[in-house]
Every structure is written in structure tokens, then in C-alpha cells.
Structure 1
Amino acid sequence: MSPSIPQPHIITQYRNQIWHSLDNNLISTALFTAERLQAYDPKGVDSVHLLALCYFRDGQIKTAESLTRGWPKHVGCAYIYAQCCLELGGGRQKDGVAALEKCKGQWNGTSSWNKHTDTERRVLPDAASIWCLLGKLYHTDGRQKQSIEAFVQAVKLNPFIWEAFEGLLDTGIKLRVNNIFKQSPEMLAAVVQTNPTSIQEDASASVPSLHLPLKAASENIHQDPFSISTASTIAIKPEPGLFTKLNESISNGLGGGGLDADTPIATRDSHDNMMGIERQVKPPGAPLRKTRAATVDMGSRRGLTSRNAKDINNEVPKRTTSQMTAEAPATRRSTRLLNTKLTSKFVTGGSIADRSGVNAKEREAKKAKAISSRTKTVHIATVAAAEKLGKVRPLPQEAENIDVTMLDAKPLPPPVKQINEKQQEAQLHMLEMFKKLGTGYFALARYSCQEALQVFNSLTPSQRDTPWVLSKIGRAYYEMANYTEAEKIFQKIRQIDPTRTRDMEVYSTLLWHLRKDVELSYLAHELVEVDRLSPAAWCAIGNSFSLQKDHEQALKCFKRATQLDPKLAYAFTLQGHEHVSSEEYDKALVAYRSAVSADSRHYNAWYGLGKVYEKTGKYELSERHFKTAAQINPTNSVLVCCIGMVLEKTKNYKGALAQYDLACKLAPRSALSRFKKARTLMALGNNLAALQELQILKDLAPDEANVHYTLGRLYKTLKDRTNAIKHFTTALHLDPKANQLIKGAMETLEDADMEEDSEVYRLLEHS
């Protein structure tokens, strides 16, 4: 063979070294060796796949994409190419999808979820992994329907692919978590194994004696691959070379009970007991004269069709003298086994007859003629031995032609499927853990924060006190506006993992809401030290500048975060907030729209768009965007209240009241929702209901000047001058800046039809 032809064993050596380097994260070594393999085997598509994989792991995405573009029919190359398209973006997702679709016939239906161990691997991706990648490609390309279908296929094949589950949550569809994290047919097949010997150990309980109904025997025997599904006259032909073992066992005094070499040797009595035979104290009579029984070759292990004895006898090959000599002891052993229980009892036509009473003339007729069609012989001893001991090779013996009808006996149980308990336990443990985490994460994705907290807190302490779970708990408290508890959780995360940067943009915004400037600056400093290229670090720096009212520097930091991660919608939203603070509404709209493009379910961006349109007087557009945000996060009372505020400004007081009422139900302790509801009730003339809401609000926010001013106005309308003066005075003490306006309201207490002083409300709301 020409030395220029690549040799398989040399290629194998290269591949082994490459995988060793990849497994040990020696990327440079792996890449160097893969280039050598590609040079040695330039036409090998597997060599191209390995080289592209090394480039991808090394971060050379464009090189890997260029290398695999010309190999769309190889599953490994197509998979890497699609991953490169996902990373590069820019409309290349369609190319990645097309590459995977071209080789679908090779990967569709494949599964290797349980074939990866510490010592084994599957080089090429299976169907579940590819469906998950397709889901990501469709999602980033904006094809939500195809994305959902792909993610569903992935979790059906392998529910342990968490990325596919997260992908489903990102699409916002409703799903049943319990139907995802359950054992698939492949999982069940992996833990179930057929183990006939476990049942056969108790065969004596199922076959207490030889009183087996022939029909029942024929129905149960066929379930054993080494038995015959017929009730015809049957004798089993021994396998070649077995007679030597029989002769050796006979010479050792075993009575012709030849068994396989791996079978424990037993005495005749113990052997009979294992086969469920009750021996008689009285020695058996002389054996019957035997006719030549038909033999059937069992070597093929296939079911046989019923044939009468005459047809079978015609097929029996002639035996040599040596074979007949070798079979003689086995035949005598068979007679003894068969007749131990039936020595003096044969059931013939329902009556019991002694064996010695068999008519000699009838025996001669049996010898001369074939067995009648009604005569049915089953080699019971052999079948019992096979069922009990589970041996492939039956006893080599000829069946005696006995005219019997076997009586009631319990049918033999078929071989059972036994479950690998350890593997079953491992699967169920992981599925239960994934189910709990999936249930909590699903509740959080739907902003059912209280339910999510209950699920996460039900975990064991070791599982709950992990950064991933704690970050979700902190996020739940943050969404509930319980900033104090959220801060405690994020502080715990910082203690457990000081190097964690993921989700820290939420923590920095939380500190911004709490107005903790020092803690926010310290967090930003820590994150930059850990990873100065982390988007979360730049978000923290931006929030720190924003808290100091330095909007220009804050904007620069937020823009840097979006440069590092164009998919971080939250950074775009923070940009929009800064533009709104600077009253740059056009730029704010651009930033919010960029956030929606990065994540269509980022409700904060939809809220920002609604707020901009509200400030610019476009109430219809504002209402539409607020409703979109509320559809994504239906449990947020602020969003519902914003819808009511827009409706109130368009004089739709009834619609606004419905929104405020819903907001109060979602957050009973929300001062803003209850205050807006009270004012709307006053506008509708329902003063008594408004008074009830304001009294509740006074207990919730006793130091709010606006609440006391509104109470003063309401009591003035109800002509309760005493309470009106009381609350006006309280409002004056709480907000001295509105001194002149509040005094003016007090001086006009006698005017029953005094209209709302909008300037007072404007001043109080911004105080």
C-alpha cells in the first residue's frame, strides 16, 4: 500500500490525542494536533469536524464557520456550522437551520443521552441536542412557532436538556412542567432488563407437580424461546457433542441426568426436587417398551408448527449405532424421571389406571402403528427442567408415548422484566429535582413570584443555598418590590460566590432603588475587578452614576454594556430610563425598541415605551404598550395602575376604576393604586367608597401629605369642617412647601363646589 494513503491506525492515534486534549481543556494542543491530522488526512470529513470543533472551542468562530460551510451533509460539521451561525448572528440563523435540515436523515431519531459516561462518549450530537440548537436558531430569527416546536421535540427526547426548557419559557407559552420532567420510553427501557432466572428460582412454587394441563402447558411453553408452542408428540434432539458429557456423567453415577457444564451437579433426588417431582417410596415398575419418537431440532430457537407424529417420524434421520448406544442411558433416565410421579397413576379418560394393567396387545399396536391423533406426549421432565433451571440445552432424551390428560396446575409465569433499582433511583432523583426547579422557574417566568418562592424554599438547604437558586429567589423578591428581602438574598450570593457576575445587574438596580450609593459603588468596583468585560459590571457602574445624577456618564456605561452583550435587553432599558430623565424622548424610544428587539418579553422596555408616549400626550399608544407589558407580567400592580392612569386622563373613569380595583387586589398594600382608586371614586361622585379607601391608605402611608390633603378635600365635600381642617393642617405640617396652596384650600372651606386644585396635586406628587 502506498505510504501516501492515510492509515486508519494512525488516524485513530491522532484522534485519541485530540480528544484527550479537549477533555483536559488543552485547547492549543488540541488545535495543533487537529491541524496535523487534517494535513495527514485532508479528505477525511471526520478530520474536518475535529479541526472545526477545536477552532470553535478556541473562540475562532469565523474560522470554524468557514471550515464547516462546505460539509453540510456531515452531522458534526453541520452542528458546528449552525452553532457558529447562532454566535455570529446578523441573519445567519437561516443558514444554520438549512445546514441541519440537509442532514436531518442522519440525526433524526438518534439518542445518546444515557451513553455518555466517565469513560465513554458519543462524538456526534444526537437528535435532542440538534433540536435544542434549532430552537435557539429559530428564536433568535424571530420564528417563534418553529422555535417552540423544536424545543418541545428536544425536551421530549431528553428532559434533562435544561436549555431547551429555558427556551420554552423564553417564548412565553403555557406548559405543564410535570409532563416534561417524567420518564420517557427510552428511560424506562434503560432501567428495565429481562431476567428470567429471577422468576425461575421460584418455579417449584408455580409447578408443584407434573399435573399440568396439556393446553396450559402448550400455552406457557411457547413463551420460552427454547420450548415448543405445540401439543404434538415431541422429543428433543440433543445438540452434537452433548452425549460425551452424558456418558461422563453416567459413568460418575449421575443416572444419565446430563446438564450443561456450568450447571451445578446434583444427585438424582435433589435434581428431581429442583424440577418439582415428588418421588415415590415404592420403586417404579419396569419401563415401557419404547417406540421411535419424532425428534425436533431446537437449534434454530424458532417456534415450530404443529405436525402429527407420522409426519415427524418420516423426517427423523437414521441414527448410527454409537448414537443409539449413547442415547440409551439418557432414555432410561427419562423414563425414571417421567414415571416417578406417574408410576402407579396415569389418568386415562378421567380414570386412574395402574401402569401394569396396560394391555400387551395395545402395546404391540402402539409399536406397529403411529400414535393416534388424540395421543399427545409432552416431554414434561425436560420442559420443567428448562423452565426451572433456565438452561438453553434440554436433557437429551426421547419422550415416552403416554396417553395422558394432565390435570389442574398453575400456569408457568413468563420471564419477567426486572428493573435496575439503582439506575431507576438515579433517574427518578434527577427528574424530581429538575421538576421542582422547573416548576419554580416556570412560576417566576410567569411572574407568579409567591408561588416561585414557595417552590424554591421547599428545596433542601444544600440545593437552595446555591447561586442559581438564590438568584431566582432574589429576583422574585425584586419583582414583588420587596427590596429589603431581595438585598439579603443577593448579599448571601456575594458571600457564597464573590466572583459571580450573572444577575448582578438586577442587584445594582435594587441598590439604586434603595438609594444605597456606597454599597452600589462598592459592588461596581468588585465586579470590575472580577471581570472588566462583564456587562453586569458596566450596568453597576452606570447605576452608580445615575444615582449621583450624572446621566451622561451613566449612558456611556450602559452603552458599553450593550456593546459587550447585544442580547442584554436590560442594559438597553436602563439607557432608555436615563434618556427619559434627561427628557430626551426620541432617544429613549430608540433604546426601548432595541431592548424589545433583544427580548420581546422584557416587560420593562414595554413599560418604558408606554411612559414615553404618556409624557408626549399619545395616550392611545401609551395604553397599548402598557397593556402589552401587563400581558407579560400580569401580577405587577404598577403596570395595571399605569393603564388606569392613561384611561383617567382620557376621562374614562369607569375603565380606570376597574384597573385600579384590579391593582388593589394584586397588591393590597400598594399606596399608589389605592390613592388613584380613591380619586377616581371621588370623580365619579362615590364619596363614601372613596372615604373608606382613603382611611385604609392613611394607615398604610400616615406620613404622605397628599393623602391628608385629599382627605381634607373629601371631608369638605361631605361638609365635615372639623375633619377637613384637621387633615389640611396635617398635610401642611408634612409638606411646608405647599404652605400657600394648602392655606388657600382651608380659606375656601365654605365653598361647597370647590374644584380640584391641580397645582396642589402636582406639587404634592413630586415632593
Structure 2
Amino acid sequence: MFDRFIAVYLSANLCDKFGICLCMFAMECLLIDCVQNSLQHLLYHNAIFMCERLCSEFPSETNLQLLAACYLQSNQAYSAYHVLKGTQMPQSRYLFAISCFQMNLLNEAEAALCPSNEPSAEVPNGSAGHYLLGLIYRYTDRLKNAANQFNQALSIDPLLWSAYEELCKLGAAGEATSVFGESAAECIEKQYLSHDVGPQLQASSDDHSVVSGRQVTENISPRKLRHLHGNNIKDNSSNHNAAVFSSRPAASQPNNGVHANTPFYNTPSPMVTQLSGVSHSPPPIGRNMIPNGPTSSSVCADASPKSTVKSTIQAPRRKFVDEGKLKKISGRLFFDSGPRRSTKLAGEGGSMANISGITVAGNGTHHSSKHPTTSKLGSAAFRSVTIRKGQSWSTETFNEGVQSELDDTRSNTTTTTTTTTSGSSPPPDTRSCEHDCSMGRASMSVSKVASGALEVLSLLRIIGEGYRLSCLYRCQDALDVFLQLPYKHYNTGWVLSQVGKAHFELVDYLEAERAFSNARLATPYSLEGMDIYSTVLYHLKEDMRLSYLAQELISTDRLAPQSWCAMGNCYSMQKDHETALNNFQRAVQLNSRFVYAHTLCGHEYVALEDFENGIRSYQNALQIDARHYNAWHGLAMIYLRQEKYDFSKHHFQRALNINPRSSVIMSYLGTSLHALKRNEEALAVMEKAIVADKKNPLPMYQKANILASMEEFDGALKVLEELKEYAPHESSIYVLMGNIYKRRLMYDMAMLHFGLALDLKPSATDVATIKAAIEKLHIPDELDDNL
């Protein structure tokens, strides 16, 4: 009798203990679910507030990761920096590195990704981590290391386009046919089929219904599938970490640089460790740990800690716990008295769904104006693991659970009975039948994934090769490659912007304007390439259209550097260089890594004859991107005006090494060589410039000028006569012809050409020069020099 009393007393205390623990665990899960839903619906303030409550009640590094993710998503990198400083988990180090990168603390970001005390430690988050480390190396002028990191990121995830884009900008990208070739297809198939997509596609023949990869096991019921598919669970790699940034759905993520059997382990929440009787390791990060083999073909209803607790303590509970008390506790905790609730919570996508690893999943990633970082790092997309849909817990009854289990039994598929009154398993023949069907669906899924990978890679091969050639300034070749794209992809804003940039580099401003105009029609909300578009309109002297474009861009996004570059070009066209400089400096302030804004600042300083600040602006641009040939050209022009011809020649040569097909750079390089009395080399360079672009009048004019200085007047006049056909309204051509006729003592012809030059209404400075030449027409050049 006494023993029975002791047993009842102990059972009551045990139930109370587990009841409190489960209540606290449910509270933590509800808070996590609330934060995730807030992030999914872009309610960042609410997400931060609730996540602060979560971290206060359940302090753990995992929850701190979720709080840092909320701060990063709401553009509060400084808050994430302080929250994660000193943390050691791989995911924490990755998020801390992102916050440091956004705050321009590149040394701390590098130390977080590659700890000095752990030289052999892997870079966290696989391809995303290597991509971020590559950006850090690039901005610290370690270009070889940067290229190596971007290549590693591509080897892990061939679909990480941003890494290939950065390689193209560095001039270190391989041909797209090799990067996005058969090995990339095999890598994608291996990752998708063995770690994520395969098991999910086996669960249903519907390609649009993807089941969370963490909910994988042998047993599955049609009711659970209906809940999962109906709730449209979009995150396929829910883990116990906080959010990781991504440029595409989580299902497309690679192995994150970790072998399938070597997971990262997180610090579990205190409430999880307090559940006595629970003996399971902390959940792994990412989808690396999705089990392989036959057990990964269906959804697990007992994978949650709640189910684990139940199965662990069920046997001792039956010895001395009254069944009625347990039902009261269960009803008090989960608003229901049926054990079906664990199935609902694990499979329905409600606020307790996927308890085994509830966090925001994501992965690491160009802002349209820079890189990814360009980007891509400052505004990553978070996806919630759980979505509350359907009825609330309080409105569902035990009778519904019984009825649903009867419905599942009638459906002629394997059912998992989780009630305490029924512990029987499906008949062996039913389980075998379902396994055969799953294998059939799996083989069909393999072919779908393989064909899908080939289609995506074939598209990336064309786009990638076109972009690579464009970054190498083989612009005509790039245009030919882009024309191979299907119509629906060619007529997208990004591709049309690349086409416009290629025409801009070819000095074909009319075609460039047409391409950018079509890009604006296709994606009027996109700012990709609009800074170049404004420069095209500047060269075309389209002041009204440039003004309208600048106003449109400012109204679209006042915080985008492209908008202020367009505004600056508008004022520069009106010769208001002070205001133009202020606008370009505003663009630099908004994004200090926006290289073109630094170059435009340099141009305005040169227009104001502030050469010192101009040199500083060009050097700032080169610190960001050493292959930005416009800055090399700008420095060379300053040195040319300062008559530092050796420096000028050196910088023109550097610009030409980057853009070897630019006839403009060749022309100025020839001018520098001519100033250094290296006329033969200068003529050779001019000939190359003429061949490179026959529509460009500058190299022909400079060639005639060099020939005239060498007193080869007939050759110079022949070149100028030909040049008049290309540029009949260029007054400088007639001035040079007038000077040649003067030196040949043909004063009538000289006077005629000086008059023609004045009739073309040149600038005031040129008018003064021409009138001075007319006044000194009969004075020999030797005497003119002495005067």
C-alpha cells in the first residue's frame, strides 16, 4: 500500500516536471515561429522585438544568431556586430563576418571567417563563406587569393552566379563552357539528389510541392503529405541555425562546404537540454545531414523533440502514471488530448512545426549597383521554416484525430499510428509496396533534376560567356554571344543593360541608348546600368532626356548611387561642375565601393582644374577596382595636361592593357609618345587605333598632326581630306589644314580653311585661337615662335 502511494506521488511530480519543461519548450518554439513569420512578411521591427524576448527567456548562441539575422535584414549591421562579437559557432562567425563587411571592417570579417588560432578550420557556410572571403580579399587588393576563393565557391555551388561575375570583373574567369559544363551538372545532381531534392521529390509526384528535407524517414501518411503540400512549405533546408543569406531558394544550395557526414553542431537551447530523458545530439546545420538511403524517402512524424520525449519516457510512464492525468497534462500543454497533435505539429507547418530544428534558413550572396555584394550581402532573403495555416490547436478535437487516422487507413498507403492506444506498425506488404512506389518516383525525379540542371547550365553558359567577354572588353564578341539567348531572356533588363554597356565601350552611343531605353521599358524599377545610361545621354547631348532620367531615378530610389550619378551628369552637361561634384560625392557617400562614382568625381575635379583632388579620386577608384581603366585614363589625362609625358604614357599603357581594343586610349597613348619625340611608335599606335575603330576621328586627326610635325605635309593633308568625310563639322580639322597650308606658304588656301573653321561656330577658346592664326598668317612660324 505504501509502495503504491509512493508511486502515485512520484508519478504526479514527474508529470508536473515534464509538463513545465514541455510548456517552456513550446514557448520557445512559438517565439521562434513568430520571429520567422515576421521576417517572412518583412515585419522587421516585430521580428526584432520578439527575438529579443526569445533571447532573454532562452539565452543561447543559436537564438542570438536569429536576433543578428533580424538586425541584418533590417539594415542594422552595427547591432548584429555587437550581438555576435565573441561567438564561436560557424554560423555565428559567418553572420558576424557579414556585419563586419557591411561596416567596412574587413580585417575583422576575415578573422571571423579564418580564425588565426584555427588555421585548418573550414570557412563557414561553404560556397557563401568562400564568396564573402573572396570579396574581402578583393577589396584588400589580394586579387589572386580573391580569384581562388571565388573558384572554390563555384566548385561547391556551380549556380553561385555572383562568384563567376566577380571572377569576370577580375579578368580571371574561365570560359563559361568549362565552368558551367558537365562537371557542374554532375555536381548539381549529386548535391540535389543525394542531399535534398531527391528525397523530397520522392514524397510526391507534384514538382511544386517540396517537403522539408529535415522531415525525412520511412513512415508517411497521406494526411501528413496533404498538410505539408497544402501549406506550401518553401524552406527545404531548415536547420537549427539562424538565417543565412541567399540569392536563390534554399533547395538550390550546395553542401555548404561540409561533407554529408561531418555536420556543424550548434549550441542547443537550454530548454532542450533540460528535458530529462531526451538523448539526442543537437541538430546539424544545413541540409548536409539529411539521411541517405531508403529512409530518406518520406516524412518523419516523430523527428521532433516532443515526439522523442514521448517515445523515451513512455515505457516508465506506463508503470506508474495514470492515463487520465497524462491526458489532462497533454490537453493543458497543447490544447488537445490526442497524440495526433505531435503529427500535426511536425507535419502541418504550424507554429510548432519541425521542432527538431526551427530556425530561419538561408544562405550567403550584388546589389545592382555594386556586387554583391555586390553585394547580395546587404539585402539577403530570409525564408521561414514554418507557416501557420489551417485550424488553430484549440479548435481541433480528439475526434478529428480519430477520424483522420481512419481516413489515413482507408487511403491504401502506409500509416504511422502514434496514439498511445495503438502501437502497431503497417503490414510488411504495405510498407514494401510504398517503398517500390517511392523508388519509381525517385528514378523519375533523377531525370527531371538532370534535365533541369542541363537547361539552367546551358543558359548560364551563354550569359556567362557574354559577360566574360564584356569584362575583357571584347565587346563585339560579347554582343554576338548575347544574341544567342532566347528572346525572353535577351529582353530582360539585366541582359539589355549589358548590351548597352558593350555598345558604350564601342563608342556606339546611339545603339547604347537604344539598348538602355529598352532595358528601362523591360524593368523600369531596375537601376542596373543606369549610371552608364546617363553618361551615354551626356555624350549624345540629350539634356532633356538626361534630366528626365535623373528625376525618375531619384524618385525610384534616392539612396542608390546610380540615381545621383545621373543627377551629377545632368548638372555637368549644364557646366555646373560644383553641383555635379556634390552629386557624385553623394553617390560615393551612399556606397563607398561604387567605383564609377569616384571616377566621375575625378572628371569634375579636372573640369574645375583641381588636379590634386582629381588624382585622389582616380586613385580611390583604382583601390576598389584595379581593372577600372577609366581611372587609369583619367590619371593619364591629368599628367598629359601637366606635361608629365612619361607618367602620362605609363598610365595610358596601363589602361590599354585592360581595354586593348579602345581606339580612344590608343590615340592618347600615341599623343604621349609624340610628345616624347617617339614619332615612329606614335604612328604605329595611331594606325592600330584607326583599324580598331574607323568611325573614331581622333586617331586620324592625331596621325595627321604627327605627320605635319614630321613635315610630311602631303601625307597629312591626304589623311585630313579623308577625315572630313567622317567628321565634316569638326572645326579642328580645318584649323590643322590651315596651319599646314600656311607652312607651305599657300596663304589663300590657309585663309580659306581658317574661315571654314570659324563658320562651324567652334567654342570661344577655339575662336580666339583661329583669329590669332589669321592675324599672324603672313608671319613665318620661326618668327612667330620667337615672338
What TM-score comes out, normalization by structure 2 length? 0.60
Structure 2 counterpart of 1:269: none
For structure 1, which segment, 149-158 or 735-744, has the greater mean C-alpha deviation from structure 2 after superposition?
735-744
How far apart, CA to CA, are the structure 2 residues paired with 1:726 and 1:101?
A: 76
Matches within 5 A, 1:688-767: 689-711=715-737, 730-731=756-757, 733-734=759-760, 737=767
1:705 positional shift: 3.6
1:107 positional shift: 5.3
Distance 1:720 1:619, change over 3 A: closer
How far apart, CA to CA, are the structure 2 residues paired with 1:436 and 1:136?
A: 25
The answer to whether 1:670 aligns with 2:686 is no
Distance 1:91 1:758, change over 3 A: farther
Aligned counterpart for 2:84 among listed residues 62, 68, 88: 68
Structure 2 counterpart of 1:39: 56
Structure 1 counterpart of 2:70: 54
How far apart, CA to CA, are the structure 1 residues paired with 2:770 and 2:74?
A: 68
Q: Give the letter for the 2:140 counterpart.
A: D
Radius of gyration: which is bigger?
1
How far apart, CA to CA, are the structure 1 residues paired with 2:162 and 2:116?
A: 21
Which whole-Å deviations, capped at 9, do the CAs of 1:260-296 have from their partners, x for residues lacking one? xxxxxxxxxxxxxxxxxxxxxxxxxxxxxxxxxxxxx
1:496 positional shift: 2.6
Q: Give the letter for the 1:475 counterpart.
A: K
User: SS at 2:473's partner residue?
Assistant: coil
Structure 2 counterpart of 1:81: 96
The answer on whether the counterparts of 1:93 and 1:140 sit within 8 Å (CA) in structure 2 is: no
For structure 1, which segment, 146-155 or 181-190, has the greater mean C-alpha deviation from structure 2 after superposition?
181-190
How far apart, CA to CA, are the structure 2 residues paired with 1:524 and 1:188?
A: 46
1:440 positional shift: 0.8
Which whole-Å deviations, capped at 9, do the CAs of 1:455-506 have from their partners, x for residues lacking one? 2222122111111111111111111111112112222222233333332221
1:615 positional shift: 1.2
Q: Give the letter for the 1:494 counterpart.
A: R
Matches within 5 A, 1:448-463: 448-463=474-489
Aligned counterpart for 2:635 among listed residues 609, 624, 643: 609
Matches within 5 A, 1:275-354: none
The answer on whether the counterparts of 1:97 and 1:134 sit within 8 Å (CA) in structure 2 is: no
How far apart, CA to CA, are the structure 1 residues paired with 2:518 and 2:714?
A: 48
The answer to whether 1:555 aligns with 2:572 is no
Aligned counterpart for 2:600 among listed residues 569, 574, 580: 574
The answer on whether the counterparts of 1:622 and 1:646 sit within 8 Å (CA) in structure 2 is: yes
1:18 positional shift: 3.4
The answer on whether the counterparts of 1:18 and 1:33 sit within 8 Å (CA) in structure 2 is: yes
Which whole-Å deviations, capped at 9, do the CAs of 1:75-124 have from their partners, x for residues lacking one? 2111101111111114435544545677787756xxxxxxxxxxxxxxxx
Q: Give the letter for the 1:46 counterpart.
A: T
The answer on whether the counterparts of 2:618 and 2:631 sit within 8 Å (CA) in structure 1 is: yes
How far apart, CA to CA, are the structure 1 residues paired with 2:607 and 2:600?
A: 11
Structure 1 counterpart of 2:494: 468
The percent of aligned pairs where both chains have the same amino acid is: 32
How far apart, CA to CA, are the structure 1 residues paired with 2:748 and 2:484?
A: 53
Structure 2 counterpart of 1:240: none
1:147 positional shift: 0.9
For structure 1, which segment, 467-476 or 552-561, has the greater mean C-alpha deviation from structure 2 after superposition?
552-561
1:560 positional shift: 1.3
1:180 positional shift: 0.9
Which whole-Å deviations, capped at 9, do the CAs of 1:542-565 have from their partners, x for residues lacking one? 222211111221121111111111
The answer on whether the counterparts of 1:728 and 1:746 sit within 8 Å (CA) in structure 2 is: no
User: SS at 1:420's partner residue?
Assistant: helix
1:191 positional shift: 7.9
How far apart, CA to CA, are the structure 2 residues paired with 1:539 and 1:63?
A: 30
User: SS at 1:89's partner residue?
Assistant: coil
1:650 positional shift: 1.7
The answer to whether 1:584 aligns with 2:616 is no
Matches within 5 A, 1:394-433: 420-433=446-459
Structure 1 counterpart of 2:508: 482
Which whole-Å deviations, capped at 9, do the CAs of 1:550-587 have from their partners, x for residues lacking one? 12211211111111111112122222211211211112
Distance 1:141 1:719, change over 3 A: closer
Aligned counterpart for 1:624 among listed residues 650, 657, 668: 650
Q: Count how many residue pairs are aligned between Structure 1 and Structure 2.
A: 518
1:16 positional shift: 3.9
Q: Give the letter for the 1:138 counterpart.
A: Y
Structure 2 counterpart of 1:405: none
Distance 1:713 1:522, change over 3 A: closer
Structure 1 counterpart of 2:207: none
Q: Give the letter for the 1:45 counterpart.
A: E
The answer on whether the counterparts of 2:93 and 2:113 sit within 8 Å (CA) in structure 1 is: no
The answer to whether 1:680 aligns with 2:697 is no
The answer to whether 1:565 aligns with 2:566 is no
Distance 1:646 1:6, change over 3 A: farther
The answer on whether the counterparts of 2:673 and 2:681 sit within 8 Å (CA) in structure 1 is: yes
Structure 2 counterpart of 1:647: 673
Structure 2 counterpart of 1:28: 45
Matches within 5 A, 1:168-187: 168-182=167-181, 183-184=183-184, 185-187=186-188
1:432 positional shift: 0.8
How far apart, CA to CA, are the structure 2 residues paired with 1:634 and 1:541?
A: 31
Which whole-Å deviations, capped at 9, do the CAs of 1:39-98 have from their partners, x for residues lacking one? 2321x33222222212211222112112222222x1211110111111111443554454
The answer on whether the counterparts of 2:543 and 2:573 sit within 8 Å (CA) in structure 1 is: yes
The answer to whether 1:189 aligns with 2:190 is yes
Distance 1:757 1:547, change over 3 A: farther
How far apart, CA to CA, are the structure 2 residues paired with 1:706 and 1:69?
A: 64
1:443 positional shift: 1.0
The answer to whether 1:543 aligns with 2:569 is yes
Which whole-Å deviations, capped at 9, do the CAs of 1:207-257 have from their partners, x for residues lacking one? xxxxxxxxxxxxxxxxxxxxxxxxxxxxxxxxxxxxxxxxxxxxxxxxxxx
Distance 1:490 1:732, change over 3 A: closer
User: SS at 1:638's partner residue?
Assistant: helix
* Structure 1 portions without partners, runs of 5+: 109-124, 194-391, 393-416, 760-767
Q: Give the letter for the 1:561 counterpart.
A: A
* Structure 2 portions without partners, runs of 5+: 1-16, 195-431, 433-442
Q: Give the letter for the 2:160 counterpart.
A: I
Distance 1:739 1:609, change over 3 A: closer
For structure 1, which segment, 2-11 or 523-532, has the greater mean C-alpha deviation from structure 2 after superposition?
2-11
The answer on whether the counterparts of 1:132 and 1:154 sit within 8 Å (CA) in structure 2 is: yes
Q: Give the letter for the 2:681 counterpart.
A: G
Q: Give the letter for the 1:165 counterpart.
A: Y
How far apart, CA to CA, are the structure 1 residues paired with 2:603 and 2:523?
A: 30
Distance 1:755 1:455, change over 3 A: farther
Q: Give the letter for the 1:164 counterpart.
A: A
How far apart, CA to CA, are the structure 1 residues paired with 2:677 and 2:90?
A: 62
Distance 1:32 1:744, change over 3 A: closer
1:713 positional shift: 5.7
Distance 1:739 1:143, change over 3 A: closer
How far apart, CA to CA, are the structure 1 residues paired with 2:699 and 2:675?
A: 15
The answer on whether the counterparts of 1:613 and 1:621 sit within 8 Å (CA) in structure 2 is: yes
The answer on whether the counterparts of 1:562 and 1:572 sit within 8 Å (CA) in structure 2 is: yes
The answer on whether the counterparts of 1:96 and 1:137 sit within 8 Å (CA) in structure 2 is: no
Q: Give the letter for the 2:527 counterpart.
A: T
How far apart, CA to CA, are the structure 2 residues paired with 1:590 and 1:149?
A: 30
> Could you say what the CA RMSD is over the residues aligned between the two structures, in angstroms?
3.5
